[in-house]
Amino acid sequence: MTDLSAFPITRKWPAQHPDRIQLYSLPTPNGVKASIMLEETGLPYEPHRVAFDSQDQMSPEFLSLNPNNKIPAILDPHGPGGKPLPLFESGAILIYLAEKSGKFIPQDAAGRYQAMQWVMFQMGGIGPMFGQVGFFHKFAGKDYEDKRPRDRYVAESRRLLGVLERHLEGKAWILGDDYGIADIATFPWVRNLVGFYGAGELVGFSDFPNVKRVLDAFVARPAVQRGLQIPAAPAA
């Protein structure tokens, strides 16, 4: 049996199945990228809930795996060369899991780079901008009378949705006919923008029918439906 005791994170979240990928996460738009990918690939894994309300992400154990105190993070007991691999940053995790499984990323070099460019597009644009809209629309930003910051992020979010809208014309998924990590990176954030953040009307989501069409197809996937609930909330 694999020994993960050298990793301090396993002291706070003991591995019941140390031969499986250990996932440390929460069902946020970034967190579910990892759980959806794991569900889609079928790679064996064990989820651990990193509770923000108890500041788990700031614990020494979690920081030993991700010094940036963000979810998700993974610990793969069977990483490259057969050695355990700790990894953080959701985009890096998606690429790693795609390469490990040989799934959801093109096998040709040009296609792989195209997939990565759209993952980076999400990481650098969609995630940060949609997150700011959420702050100013749903959370503490409501306390600011000056709406210029909110409107700045709304305008940029509309621009990014427009990029997606035009790109998705005539396509089933971001890379065309094949579903993959670009979609898994992107659509949890689109779902959150119009769902949890309730900003659909604010950003004029009805102006982006291609984005809505692909979002609906994404959410309909059984692995996505499972991944959106992982790690599960504790029983009441």
Token pair recorded at residue 84: 């355990």
CA angle 119, 125, 128 (to 5 degrees): 110
Per-residue model confidence (pLDDT) at position 206: 98
User: Residue 43, by phi and psi: left (phi above 0), alpha (psi -120 to 50) or beta?
Assistant: beta
Length of the chain, please?
A: 236
- What token pair was written down for 206? 């009805």
Residue-wise pLDDT tens digits, 181-234: 999 999 999 999 999 999 999 999 999 999 999 999 999 999 999 999 999 988
Q: For all residues of the chain together, what is the average pLDDT?
A: 96
Residues 78, 101, 182, 202, Cα dihedral to 10°: -70
pTM to 2 decimals? 0.96
Q: Do domains 9-103 and 109-223 have the same CATH topology?
A: no
Report phi then psi at 85, rounded to 5. -125, 115
Domain ranges of the chain: 9-103, 109-223
Task: Domain 9-103: state its class.
Answer: alpha beta
Rounded to 5, what percent of the chain is helix, strand, coil? 55, 10, 35
Q: What is the pLDDT of residue 34?
A: 98
The owner of tokens 């992400």 is 57
Band (pLDDT 50/70/90 cuts) for residue 3 is confident
Mean pLDDT of 122-138: 96
Looking at the domain that runs over 109-223, which CATH code has it been given? Answer: 1.20.1050.10
Burial (Cβ within 10 Å: 0-12, 13-18, ≥19) of residue 235: exposed
**Taking residues 32-42, what's their average pLDDT?**
98
Q: What are the tokens at 222?
A: 């059984």
Q: Give the integer Cα–Cα distance in Å for 98 and 23.
A: 15
* Distance, CA of 68 to chain centre: 16
pLDDT in tens, 13-27: 999 999 999 999 999
Nearest CA among 227, 184, 198, 50 for reference residue 130 = 198
Q: What is the mean pLDDT of residues 138-143?
A: 83
Side-chain-side CA neighbours of residue 189 (13 Å): 25
